[in-house]
Structure 1
Amino acid sequence: MAANQFQRNDWVIYRKHKSSVSPGPRASDVHAAGKGNTYRYVVEKYWMVEEVLADNQLKICTRRGKRHLVSADDPSLRRARWWERILYRSRFEAIDLNSPVSQEDEIESS
């Protein structure tokens, strides 16, 4: 999806790949990694587009106020479907785009 197809305040879902010894309750696509000591899995993150940048990048805001730079062409990023907007409304509405960014919460590239 090109950056011009996203707009400020769009609700998006990012499928973040993680690994740990104990996947959480929202983990999906869980597989044992390596020798079975850890698991690899995917967690869906409910984020909001804060700004569309000129270089095909999106500044994304998380529920806890962190900012990430994500390519608009990232296959892990997609717009929330209509039924997800209803089902997960509280997760998206919890995002405050006006929260200040501290020095510690500078933008992270995903």
Structure 2
Amino acid sequence: MQANWKAGDWAVYRKSKSGVNPGRRAAQVVASPKGETYGYVVDKFWVVDEVLTDGHLRLVTAKGKVHTIEADDPNLRRPSLLQRFLWRERFAMVEASREHVGDQTPSNAVGA
């Protein structure tokens, strides 16, 4: 269980997706039984905007979308030191969009 999240923390969320053409960042790609689509996961780079009183986190994406998820979601993790270095530009973009979020209502509740 992840504890002690605070506003401004960097987070990586492993999101499950499916489609006919997985992108270059897709991992764990598995073809459907008939091979028409693929299931895969993609790492999303988010920043904690707010820790809510009910144990949920309000996270912001690089495009300014807001997601609310549980703090102990197994798909949520902190980036390692190496990942922080390698992905610093992605997180910088998210932090820039976080300044423009203000008091928007969450656009997507993941895992709730």
TM above 0.5, one fold? yes
Q: Give the drift of 1:106.
A: 4.2
For 2:83, the equivalent position in structure 1 comes to: 84
Alpha-carbon distance in 1 for matches of 2:58, 2:42: 20
How many angstroms apart in 2 are the aligned matches of 1:70 and 1:107?
A: 12
TM-score, normalized by length of structure 1? 0.90
Q: Measure the CA separation in 2 of the matches of 1:11 and 1:34.
A: 37
Equivalent residue number for residue 98 of structure 1: 99
Q: Which blocks of at least 5 consecutive residues in structure 2 are unaligned?
A: none
2:60 is the alignment partner of 1:61: yes
Count of matched residue positions in the alignment of Structure 1 and Structure 2: 108
Percentage identity across aligned positions? 44
For residues 29 and 98 of structure 1, the distance between their equivalents in structure 2, rounded to whole angstroms, comes to: 33
RMSD over aligned Cα, in angstroms? 1.8
TM-score normalised according to structure 2 size: 0.88
In the TM superposition, what whole-angstrom CA distance separates every residue of 1:20-65 from its partner, at most 9, and x where no partner exists?
Answer: 0000000000001232110000000010000001111000000110
Matches within 5 A, 1:7-86: 7-86=6-85
Q: Detail structure 1 runs of 4+ shifted over 6 Å in the superposition.
A: none
